[in-house]
Structure 1
Amino acid sequence: MNAFEVLQERGFIEQLTHEQEVKELFAKGGVSFYIGIDPTADSLHVGHFLTVMAMAHMQRCGNHPICLMGGGTAMVGDPSGKTDMRSMMTVETIDNNVACIKKQLSRFINFEDGSATIVNNADWLRNLNYIEFLRDIGTHFTVNRMLAADCFKSRMDKEMGLSFLEFNYMIMQGYDFYELYKRHNCVMELGGNDQWSNIIAGVELIRRKLGKPAYGMTFKLLTNSEGVKMGKTVGGAVWLDPEKTSPYDFYQYWRNVGDKDVENCLGLLTFLPMDEVRRLGALEGSEINKAKEVLAFELTKIVHGEEEATKAQEAAKALFGKGVVAGSVPSTEMDKADFAEGMDILTLLTTIGVVPSRSEARRAVQQGGVKLNEEPAKDVEMKITEATFKDGTLLVQKGKKVFHNVVLK
Structure 2
Amino acid sequence: MTTTAPSRTADRAGVPSVLEELRWRGLVALTTDEEALAAALASGPVTVYCGFDPTAPSLHFGNLVQLIVLRWMQRAGHRVICLVGGSTGLIGDPRPTAERVLKTREQTADWVDRIRAQVRPFLEFEGENPALLVDNLDWTAPISALDFLRDIGKHFRVNAMLRKEAVAARLSSEEGISYTEFSYQILQALDFLHLYREYGCTLQTGGQDQWGNLTAGVDLIRRVEGAGVHVLATPLITDSAGVKFGKSEGNAVWLSADMTSPYAFYQYWINVEDASVVLLLKAFTERSAEEIAELERATVERPQARAAQRALAADVTALVHGRPATDAVIRASRALFGQDDLAAVDAATLRAALEETGLHRVSDPSPTVVALLRESGLAASNSEARRTVAEGGAYLNNRRMTDPDEVPGDAELLHGRYLVVRRGKRHVAGVEISAG
**What interval of TM-score do these two structures reach, taking the shorter chain for normalisation?**
0.7 to 0.9
What residue number does 2:235 align with? 220
Deviation at 1:226, TM superposition (A): 1.9
- Structure 2 residue 172 is matched with structure 1 residue 161: no
In 1, Cα distance between equivalents of 2:320 and 2:276: 20
What residue number does 2:321 align with? 304
Identical pairs, percent: 36
What residue number does 1:96 align with? 110
- TM-score for both structures, normalised by structure 2: 0.78
Deviation at 1:143, TM superposition (A): 1.2
- Superposition RMSD in Å: 3.3
What residue number does 1:394 align with? 419
Secondary structure at 2:29's aligned position in 1? strand
Deviation at 1:365, TM superposition (A): 7.2
What residue number does 1:17 align with? 32
In 2, Cα distance between equivalents of 1:296 and 1:70: 30
In 2, Cα distance between equivalents of 1:311 and 1:403: 19
- Between 1 and 2, higher relative CO (CA 8 Å, sep ≥ 6) is seen in 1
Deviation at 1:38, TM superposition (A): 1.0
What residue number does 2:267 align with? 252
Deviation at 1:48, TM superposition (A): 0.8
Structural mapping, 1:132-281, within 5 Å: 132-234=147-249, 236-281=251-296
Secondary structure at 2:204's aligned position in 1? strand
| 1:284-334 deviation line (CA, Å, top 9, x unaligned) | 15436011111111111111222222222222222234654354644179x
In 1, Cα distance between equivalents of 2:269 and 2:167: 34
Contact 1:73 1:125 in 2 (8 A): no
What residue number does 2:7 align with? none
In 2, Cα distance between equivalents of 1:109 and 1:407: 43
Q: Which amino acid aligns with 1:107?
A: P
Using a 3 Å threshold, how does the CA distance of structure 1 residues 152 and 10 change in structure 2: closer, same or farther? same
Q: Which amino acid aligns with 2:351?
A: S
Contact 1:10 1:274 in 2 (8 A): no
Contact 1:374 1:397 in 2 (8 A): yes
Contact 2:59 2:255 in 1 (8 A): yes
Secondary structure at 2:149's aligned position in 1? helix
Secondary structure at 1:311's aligned position in 2? helix
In 1, Cα distance between equivalents of 2:71 and 2:226: 30
Contact 2:365 2:433 in 1 (8 A): no
In 2, Cα distance between equivalents of 1:26 and 1:407: 60
Contact 1:249 1:330 in 2 (8 A): no
Q: Which amino acid aligns with 2:256?
A: D
Deviation at 1:275, TM superposition (A): 2.2
Contact 1:331 1:405 in 2 (8 A): no
In 2, Cα distance between equivalents of 1:214 and 1:270: 29
Contact 1:330 1:405 in 2 (8 A): no
In 2, Cα distance between equivalents of 1:75 and 1:402: 44
Using a 3 Å threshold, how does the CA distance of structure 1 residues 396 and 229 change in structure 2: closer, same or farther? farther
Using a 3 Å threshold, how does the CA distance of structure 1 residues 274 and 217 change in structure 2: closer, same or farther? same
In 2, Cα distance between equivalents of 1:185 and 1:267: 31
Using a 3 Å threshold, how does the CA distance of structure 1 residues 17 and 365 change in structure 2: closer, same or farther? farther
Contact 1:71 1:121 in 2 (8 A): yes
- Identify the match of residue 56 of structure 1 among 58, 71, 77: 71
Structure number with larger C-alpha Rg: 2
What residue number does 2:300 align with? 284
- Identify the match of residue 106 of structure 1 among 96, 113, 120: 120
Secondary structure at 1:271's aligned position in 2? coil
Q: Larger deviation: 89-98 or 222-231?
A: 222-231
Q: Which amino acid aligns with 1:103?
A: A
What residue number does 1:87 align with? 101
Q: Which amino acid aligns with 2:363?
A: F
In 2, Cα distance between equivalents of 1:402 and 1:218: 42
Q: Which runs of 5+ in 2 are unaligned?
A: 1-15, 355-360, 368-375, 389-393, 397-406
Deviation at 1:407, TM superposition (A): 5.8
What residue number does 1:125 align with? 140
- Structure 2 residue 320 is matched with structure 1 residue 294: no
- TM-score for both structures, normalised by structure 1: 0.83
| 1:157-213 deviation line (CA, Å, top 9, x unaligned) | 211111111000011111110011011110011001111111111001101110112
Q: Which amino acid aligns with 2:420?
A: L
Secondary structure at 2:201's aligned position in 1? coil
Deviation at 1:396, TM superposition (A): 6.7
In 1, Cα distance between equivalents of 2:430 and 2:186: 47
Using a 3 Å threshold, how does the CA distance of structure 1 residues 266 and 365 change in structure 2: closer, same or farther? farther
Q: Which amino acid aligns with 1:312?
A: V
Deviation at 1:119, TM superposition (A): 0.6
In 1, Cα distance between equivalents of 2:366 and 2:176: 50
- Identify the match of residue 29 of structure 1 among 32, 41, 44: 44
Deviation at 1:394, TM superposition (A): 3.3
Contact 1:388 1:394 in 2 (8 A): no
Q: Larger deviation: 280-289 or 266-275?
A: 280-289
What residue number does 2:6 align with? none
- Identify the match of residue 363 of structure 2 among 329, 339, 342: 339
What residue number does 1:406 align with? 432
Using a 3 Å threshold, how does the CA distance of structure 1 residues 330 and 146 change in structure 2: closer, same or farther? farther
Q: Larger deviation: 119-128 or 7-16?
A: 119-128
Q: Which amino acid aligns with 1:395?
A: V
In 2, Cα distance between equivalents of 1:397 and 1:179: 58
In 1, Cα distance between equivalents of 2:325 and 2:74: 25
Q: Which amino acid aligns with 2:432?
A: V
Contact 2:331 2:340 in 1 (8 A): no
Q: Which amino acid aligns with 1:127?
A: P
